[in-house]
A and B are shown apart, each in its own frame.
Chain A
């Protein structure tokens, strides 16, 4: 057992886990606050969407793509001055959450967009034929009908953010990533690195299982009949 391992103890690792969870959950939540409306916007302003606005769709899509195409590790470095201006500091969990959110929001937007586009166009058309306006269709058709898929998307996004948060440990913030990269690696404490890996794997598995369970529980298409098999398979494949 390395000296660092002893030094950290159960308490140290627990703190790491909690910090990781804290950063992941807060960042994902804030990313959804931004990404969900943007995803809805991307879906309905599409040329085949509810309210086609090609230029707006292209402009928003362009910015989303730019943010999505910057590797996260580079984005962190680039965002250091921005974080200092917005959060007041470029280190620590606050700055990290800001950076994670910037990286995750466009990812979430695309995730939401793709979930909403899975909603049967016929159902949307039926709602239009009843005199439903755009807002009512988003609230009462798109979001509820896409709910299982949105939950699956949220699980994927959360796991991605979790991975980012470990990466972020190299520059700023805490959590398991920081322990493994900034503390354990220089001192060669391999046992610490491996425990961090195991803990992250466990966290991912728990999020994944809970998410899948929730998605399946909310999906009314899986209740009975021949659709059950194909429906649940579809979701499993996506995960």
Chain B
């Protein structure tokens, strides 16, 4: 799997945040559009696109988008 594509898939869940704000090092939980419902959308996106189950605790553990990418990658 590719980091850039993962970032695009991650960004696609958002409606208001500009695409340029998403990068490997983005601390996604600091984004103003981040909510607990957004966390559920990211979990569902990962299930859809990568057939990997991430849990609430994984979201909690990850700080950057790349952190989450690594978690998903390790389970593929």
Tell me, yes or no, whether A binds B.
Answer: no
Interface positions of B (Cβ within 8 A of A): none
